[in-house]
Structure 1
Amino acid sequence: MARYYSLAIEQTLFGEAVVVRYWGRIGKRGGEKRDVFRTERDAAVHFLTLARTKRVRGYIPIKYGQI
């Protein structure tokens, strides 16, 4: 099954850091979740934890625009 999982750290208009996740099967409508944090450091820790978990499950990191 061809699937994708995307992670990003963004900033809100109020200066909060947000970890944004997109996932699904290629060619189908997927899901989205946003986790808001007070500091960018907290968001980065959460981001790295999620990335580590996905790598253990077999996802392979690629650079943006590589596909």
Structure 2
Amino acid sequence: MTYEMQRPRYLRRIDLSRNMRRFYALSIQPTLFGGASVVRHWGRIGSNGQSLIETFDDAGTADCALMRLERVKRQRGYVDVDPAFGR
């Protein structure tokens, strides 16, 4: 896997009946020591949100973690959003 081919994933979940407007962004970044990090950014749409960085020894493990996180979010109702239109 090359990092240039890895595109960030932007997801959102909007449920007006529950006053819920959330965004979730996932990406993989290389580390200085040859590993890879999964960068997560989430929060209410319109807010700054929160971030979390998880570091892994290799890109394959980081990719598996990213896919697992994305799968869980999709099961909870998150859908793709075009990053050109914001989160």
CA deviation digits over 1:11-65, x for unaligned, max 9?
Answer: 0122210000000001112110011000100001000000000000011123543
After superposition, residues 1-67 of structure 1 pair within 5 angstroms as 1-65=20-84, 67=85
Q: How far apart, in 1, do the equivalents of 2:48 and 2:73 lie?
A: 20
User: Could you list the runs of 5+ residues in structure 1 that have no partner in the other structure?
Assistant: none
Q: How far apart, in 2, do the equivalents of 1:16 and 1:22 lie?
A: 20
Structural RMSD (CA): 1.2
Bigger-Rg structure (1/2): 2
Paired residue secondary structure (1:2): strand
Q: How far apart, in 1, do the equivalents of 2:83 and 2:71 lie?
A: 18
Give the counterpart letter for 1:27 in structure 2.
Answer: G
Sequence identity percentage? 42
User: Could you list the runs of 5+ residues in structure 2 that have no partner in the other structure?
Assistant: 1-19
Q: TM-score, normalised by structure 2?
A: 0.70
User: Higher strand proportion, which one?
Assistant: 2
Task: Pick closer, same or farther for the CA change 1:29–1:64 going to 2, 3 Å.
Answer: closer
Which shows bigger deviation, 8-17 or 37-46?
Answer: 8-17
